[in-house]
């Protein structure tokens, strides 16, 4: 798989905050600030500087799309259109939930690749869900 087929760190982090806890083949490994300390390394027989780490699941775009659909009931659709100006395919996304199609700020944008459109659609779905969660906590 190529790098473009995985969620970015920002999207992965946001998915985790929404409750994404699926098993993924890869993780982002982030050093926890302020946790550097020295520890004895039995293999090297010396003290080594180490830090605590945090693992953030790094899902493929498909895994994120499937989780949003199955767990959050938000569907990210990607389709292509022939743009007459440059006569090439351009991809776009739309988002649907139990209310129907949802408007997002990026609804009318076109992308050169399917993966770019899907990534932006996932990001827009996360914002939609986050807004819905914030509104329900306010009430």
For the stretch 96-108, pLDDT in tens is 988 777 877 777 7
Query: Mean pLDDT throughout 30-47?
Result: 88
Burial class for 135, CB neighbours closer than 10 Å (0-12, 13-18, 19+):
exposed
- CATH number of the domain at 60-139, out of 3.40.91, 3.30.160, 1.20.120, 3.30.70? 3.30.160
Backbone angles phi, psi at 38, to 5 degrees: -100, 145
Q: What is the pTM of this model?
A: 0.82
Query: Mean pLDDT throughout 76-86?
Result: 81
Query: Mean pLDDT throughout 46-64?
Result: 93
- pLDDT band at 87; cut points 50, 70, 90: low
Backbone angles phi, psi at 24, to 5 degrees: -120, 155
Q: Tell me the domain boundaries of the chain.
A: 28-58, 60-139
Whether 137 shows a pLDDT value over 80: the answer reads: no
Q: In what order do the strands lie in the sheet with 100-102?
A: 75-83, 88-97, 100-102
Query: Mean pLDDT throughout 96-122?
Result: 86
d(CA 27, CA 54): 9
SS3 134: helix
Query: Mean pLDDT throughout 102-126?
Result: 88
Whether 34 shows a pLDDT value over 80: the answer reads: yes
**Range name among 32-46, 66-80, 112-126 with the lowest pLDDT average:** 32-46
pLDDT at 70: 96
Choice between 81 and 78, residue whose per-residue pLDDT is larger: 78
H helix intervals, 1-113: 9-17, 61-72
Whether 72 shows a pLDDT value over 70: the answer reads: yes
Whether 83 shows a pLDDT value over 70: the answer reads: no
């Amino acid at each position: 798989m190529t790098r473009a087929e995985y969620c970015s760190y920002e999207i992965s982090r946001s998915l985790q905050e929404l409750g994404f806890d699926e098993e993924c083949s890869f993780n982002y490994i982030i050093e926890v600030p302020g946790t550097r300390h020295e520890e004895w390394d039995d293999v090297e027989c010396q003290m080594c500087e180490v830090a605590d780490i945090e693992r953030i699941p790094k899902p493929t775009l498909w895994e994120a799309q499937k989780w949003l659909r199955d767990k959050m009931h938000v569907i990210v659709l990607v389709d292509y259109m022939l743009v007459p100006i440059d006569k090439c395919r351009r991809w776009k996304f739309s988002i649907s939930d139990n209310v129907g199609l949802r408007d997002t700020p990026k609804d009318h944008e076109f992308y050169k690749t399917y993966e770019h459109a899907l990534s932006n659609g996932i990001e827009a779905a996360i914002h939609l869900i986050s807004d819905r969660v914030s509104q329900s906590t306010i009430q």
